[in-house]
Amino acid sequence: MAPAIVLEDVHKRYRIYRERYRSLKEIVVHRRFGDWEDHWALRGVSFEVEPGSTFGLVGPNGAGKSTTLKLIARILAPDRGRVTVRGRTAALIELGAGFQLEYTGRENVYLNASLLGLSRREINRKLGDIVGFAELEEYIDAPLRTYSSGMYMRLGFSIAIHLDPEILLVDEILAVGDEAFQRKCLEWLEGFQRRGGTIVMVSHSLGTVREMCTRAAWIEHGDLVRLGPPGEVVGAYLDQVRESRLDQQQERRAHAPDRPDIELGEVRLLDGQGRPARILEPGEPLRIEIPYRCHCRVESPVFGVMIHRNDGVLVHGTNTREGGLALDSIGEGGVICLNYPSLPLLGGTYLVTVAVAPASDLGNPIDHQEQRYSFRVRDHGAEIGVVSASHDWRLEPDRSPHLGRSRV
């Protein structure tokens, strides 16, 4: 079968204006439209997307992923090369772009759906489904300015998926509405995949790309770096990200004006038996050992530890001063230990940051290692969230007879 999407040597250039002339006088005086610099957002990108497949685009911010998506959506036109798209396309890129706040939800459905290419008759037929999926039956005749941002996005999403697309373009899926609605959207997407729909998605969540995609492309600085099975592409991309991050840290260290007064060594994460803690059970003990060397005398330094989950949630942070460990003089070297007798975390990957700072200025560490160490907690699926809070459930007899009957 012919590919659903073909990009052939696609180039896209943006003009970054230092100065722009828009009045006749300026244009006559300067004999040009402005003073700009060309920025090539894409330089000769070629790939094909098979019908029925899910294609993921990964890469750092500003790499050209969204530009690629906008070219496929035909919002932008290439400066060189060609983009061919076979099939009805819906873009979940700018949900609700073009909504009119003064119009009711219903009027906006008509205007927006016709912007996206539906005829009036098709909209008449689908109006019920669109409103039903967005769960907005009660509000559909209220002006849009009375909608919450969640309702706004829900309506935009619902209109887009009711275009009966064969190709779906998705940018950073689904920050739409509450969790229940997000799940509904994901289910819809999975159904769309099963029905043979083609998806092109941009995501920073590499896990999503690995799970959902059948192929992936890594784009960086407007170049296609790698194309292939998602596991391979994501793996290669991650390796490079990790390397460049370590490079940066090393470079920073090498370029530091002089070595820090207190230098932190290689931190050890240990489990209850004193073995390196890579995978823990919820509630297991954890011991963090921070070796250090002092190169000159520092008055009462403070050591700190932070634990983040890998999606950025700060799970726990503490320091020696809050913990009541006074370090008036710490000698030439030693090991600072932080003991968690039981770490009540649920399944996930966690990153450890360590730092040492002068007591007078905690925000300005003498030395630190940011999220350099990680451990995993096994997921048992019984509870959800971050903490494994101890709890019990029980059924008790009703002790307040009025409660059941009272009316609000």
Partner 1 sequence: MPHRYYAARTSVIEVFGSLRLLFDYRGLIYNLAIRDLRLKYKRSTIGVAWSLLNPLLMMLIYTIIFSVFLRTVVTPGRPYWALVLAGLLAWLFFSNSVGSAPVTFVHSGNLVARVSFPIESLPIASVLANFVNFLISLAILLVVLAAIRLPLGPSLVLLPVILLAQLAFTIGASLLVATLTVYLRDLEHLIGVGLTALFYLTPVLYPLDPASLPRGADRIIPYLKLNPLAWFLDSYHAVLFYGVWPSLAQFLLMLGAAALALVVGYLVFLRLRTRLPEEV
- Subset of 224-263 contacting partner 1 (CB under 8 A): none
> Left (φ > 0), alpha (ψ -120 to 50) or beta: where does 345 sit?
beta
Answer whether 71's CB lies under 8 Å from 12's CB.
yes
Answer whether 12's CB lies under 8 Å from 76's CB.
yes
Helix (H, G, I), strand (E, B) or coil at 284: coil
Helix (H, G, I), strand (E, B) or coil at 298: coil
Indicate which single residue of 110, 188, 192, 373 sits in contact with partner 1 (rule: CB under 8 A). Answer: 110
Residues with Cβ within 8 Å of residue 59, at least 6 apart in sequence: 65, 218, 219, 220, 225, 237
How far apart CA 351 and CA 356 sit, in angstroms, is 17
Question: Closest CB to partner 1 among 119 and 148?
Answer: 119
Indicate which single residue of 18, 31, 61, 77 sits in contact with partner 1 (rule: CB under 8 A). Answer: 77
User: Counting contacts by CB under 8 A, is residue 296 touching partner 1?
Assistant: no
Give the angle subtended at the CA of 62 by the CAs of 59 and 63, to the nearest 5°: 40
Question: Closest CB to partner 1 among 9 and 187?
Answer: 9
Tokens representing 22 are 């828009």
User: Counting contacts by CB under 8 A, is residue 178 touching partner 1?
Assistant: no
Site string for partner 1, 79-108 (x = CB under 8 A): xxxxxxxxxxx-x-xx--xx-x--------
User: Counting contacts by CB under 8 A, is residue 29 touching partner 1?
Assistant: no
Stretch that binds partner 1, among 11-19, 197-205, 276-284, 391-399 (CB under 8 A): 11-19
Size of the site for partner 1 (CB under 8 A): 44
Stretch that binds partner 1, among 15-23, 319-327, 352-360, 385-393 (CB under 8 A): 15-23
User: Counting contacts by CB under 8 A, is residue 168 touching partner 1?
Assistant: no
Q: What pairing do the DSSP bridges indicate for beta strands 89-92 and 167-171? A: parallel
Stretch that binds partner 1, among 109-117, 225-233, 234-242, 261-269 (CB under 8 A): 109-117
User: Counting contacts by CB under 8 A, is residue 74 touching partner 1?
Assistant: yes
Residues with Cβ within 8 Å of residue 176, at least 6 apart in sequence: 95, 150, 153, 154, 157, 182, 185
CA 235 to chain centroid: 17
Answer whether 393's CB lies under 8 Å from 296's CB.
no
Q: Smallest distance, Å, CB 93 to partner 1?
A: 8
User: Counting contacts by CB under 8 A, is residue 278 touching partner 1?
Assistant: no
How many residues comprise the chain?
Answer: 408
Q: Applying CB under 8 A, which residues contact partner 1?
A: 11, 14-15, 22-25, 27, 33, 71, 73-89, 91, 93-94, 97-98, 100, 110-111, 114-120, 123, 166
